[in-house]
Amino acid sequence: MNRFSQSDGSGNEQSDTDTDRVLGLCMLRHGSQLPQLPSVMPELMSSTDDRSTSSLQTAPEAESPFAHPDRAAFEAHLARSSYGRFTLTEAVRPGWHAGVVPQEGYRFDTYADPQTRARLPAIIAAVSKERLFETFIDLLEPLGDSCDVVLESSHDKKSQDRQEFVRESMERLVLESLLWDFEDLLTNDGCTGIAIMHPKLPMEVQLDEHKLLIVYAPSRAPFSSVLEAGGLPRDDQMQVISQGEHLHTSHSRYSREFSRLRHRLGAE
């Protein structure tokens, strides 16, 4: 089974082991960082049941009028889900001071294997909430009739690594039907990610914790055609939310839903 990490535009894989920090009541997360991250940015996560802002703690920043908003301003920022025509899911918000302004679109990128230096074409897409999950499902068709599945979780506050659970050789149409039952979890939980892979070829579609769509495949054409059909513009200079300061949100009910999904998939 082939797994791929997100890469930078020059083909040099970047790990966010150091850049993706969770503060306060939350866990330290490890993973991979999307391309062209300009500098180290703090990432905050709320794991409360009621999305209360009291559990969000600001990271140390240079003093400025924008670094420490008052509570009302910060709550208004967290409550904002729409940026023009783009609507965020509940899973993530741009940071107060140095966040990327969300926008719809996709860009071409490249994955470079850190050992072999082999390169694989990639696509990174940001899709508005109303059609994010449907677009994700549409991107699975080029993978064929049978798929492997990897569920990713960072719900466990005691773990410093994302947990992965694998189900191999699942009929794609059966999988799609099951995933629709868990649309809320996969769309709105900032601690859940999923990757669907071709069982033999180096092809993978991810819906990650930032609710970005990431594709790895020798040919990008079948996947970019799906995005173009959905009206997404291509912009190879586009930045996505994980490239700046941002905040993840989760709930205890999503941890339970994740366990249900894992059980129904038979993922180990």
Whether residue 44 is contained in a domain is answered as no
State the pLDDT at residue 2. 60
Which residues have CB under 8 Å from 74's CB, separation 6+?
A: 53, 56, 96
**Which amino acid is residue 235, in one-letter code?**
D
Residues 29-35, mean pLDDT to the nearest whole number: 33
197 domain residue, yes or no: yes
Question: Is 9 domain-assigned?
Answer: no
Average confidence (pLDDT) over 205-220: 97
Count structural domains, the chain: 1
- Region of 209 (left: φ > 0; alpha: ψ -120 to 50; beta: rest) is alpha
Q: Look up the domain containing 212 and give its range.
A: 105-239+256-265
Which residues lie below 8 Å from residue 173, measured CB to CB, with a gap of 6+?
145
Give yes or no for a contact between 11 and 109, defined as CB atoms under 8 angstroms apart: no
Query: Does residue 246 lie in a domain region?
Result: no
In a domain, 28, yes or no: no
What pLDDT score was predicted for residue 113?
A: 83
What does pTM read for this prediction? 0.78
Domain contains 177 = yes
Mean pLDDT of 12-40: 28
pLDDT of res. 77: 85
Average pLDDT, the chain: 79
Which pLDDT value is given to residue 15? 29
Query: How many angstroms separate the CA atoms of 179 and 234, rounded?
Result: 27
pLDDT (0 to 100) of residue 212:
98
* Residue 202 maps to a domain: yes
Residue spans of alpha helices (H) in the chain: 71-79, 129-139, 172-181, 183-188, 221-229, 252-265
Rounded Cα distance between 25 and 21, Å, is 12
pLDDT of residue 94: 92
Distance CA 165, CA 268 (A): 5
Predicted confidence (pLDDT) per residue in 96-116, tens digit: 877 799 999 999 999 988 888
d(CA 217, CA 240): 20
> Is residue 127 assigned to a domain?
yes
